[in-house]
Amino acid sequence: MTTKAERTTKYIIETVAPIFNRYGYVGTSMSHLTDATGLTKGALYGNFENKEALALAAFEYNRNLLLAKMDEILDVEGTSLEKIGSLLGFYRQYDVFTTEMGGCPIVNTGVDAQNNNALLAAANKETIREIEGKIALVLENGVHRGEINIPVPPLQFAKQLYTILAGAVVMGTMTRDRKYLMNTVAYLDQLINREIKK
């Protein structure tokens, strides 16, 4: 059974996570946080040491939602190509999935924290590595089972694949045009089936 303090902490993180993601570390004001939570500044800092600790907890919350979804997508039954197809299917709707989060936590936090919050920037970089590692594992298993043939090491291919997907997310976000995402995923679908399918 959770304590009242644990429930309050959980409530704060869930409530402020999309705010930090949408406005960034610097752009998120104390009034954003107090208005959203209905709590005073003192109550917020009674649960978190400072704004940086709260921002990090908010990022970790969004990151965990994203990583759990990635695990769900990549753990589908089937071949490695079907798993990668599942990943591409997810990215067709990625903007919809991240709407409640305030946008893509990787893109938003990565750009925002790069020059003003070393802890957030490091956490973001680690998350990117985790995502690339998850994709690489699927590819590596596919190579070992003889399902796919890739011309480079699985991690290198995973990094390139994720770079293209993340670029489409960035362009779709900046232009508010989801065709960047849809067209890129369609291209990757054809490329993967043409280039690595055995």
- Give pLDDT tens digits for 10-34: 999 999 999 999 999 989 999 999 9
Quote the pLDDT of residue 99. 94
Quote the pLDDT of residue 68. 97
How many independent structural domains does the chain possess? 1
For the chain, how far is it from start to end, CA to CA, in angstroms? Answer: 52
What does pLDDT average to over the chain? Answer: 94
Measured between alpha carbons, how far is residue 189 from residues 104, 124, 182 in Å?
A: 22, 27, 11
- Give pLDDT tens digits for 56-78: 999 999 999 999 999 999 999 99
Q: 19 near 33, Cβ under 8 Å?
A: yes
pLDDT band at 93 (very low <50, low <70, confident <90, very high): very high
- Give pLDDT tens digits for 166-191: 999 999 999 999 999 999 999 999 99
Give how far the C-alpha of residue 132 lies from the chain's centroid of Cα atoms, to the nearest Å. 11
Q: And the tokens for 104?
A: 């893509």
CA 179 – CA 103 distance, rounded (Å): 16
- Is residue 92 in a domain? yes
Question: Angle, to 10 degrees, between the axis of helix 4-27 and the axis of helix 30-37?
Answer: 140
Q: 90 near 151, Cβ under 8 Å?
A: no
- Give the alpha-carbon dihedral of 186, 84, 65, 30, to 10 degrees: -40
pLDDT band at 152 (very low <50, low <70, confident <90, very high): very high
- Give pLDDT tens digits for 117-132: 999 999 999 999 999 9
Q: And the tokens for 15?
A: 């409530």
Q: Give this prediction's pTM.
A: 0.93
Quote the pLDDT of residue 45. 86
Quote the pLDDT of residue 1. 73
CA 63 – CA 51 distance, rounded (Å): 18
- Is residue 13 in a domain? no
Which residues have CB under 8 Å from 125's CB, separation 6+? Answer: 110
Mean pLDDT of 107-116: 91
Can you give the residue range of the structural domain that contains 165?
59-195
Q: What is the CATH number of the domain that holds 171?
A: 1.10.357.10
Quote the pLDDT of residue 196. 86
pLDDT at 195 over 90: no
pLDDT band at 135 (very low <50, low <70, confident <90, very high): very high
- Is residue 118 in a domain? yes
CA 28 – CA 32 distance, rounded (Å): 6
> How many Cβ atoms from other residues are within 10 Å of residue 126's Cβ?
11
CA 137 – CA 100 distance, rounded (Å): 29
Q: 125 near 105, Cβ under 8 Å?
A: no
pLDDT band at 46 (very low <50, low <70, confident <90, very high): confident
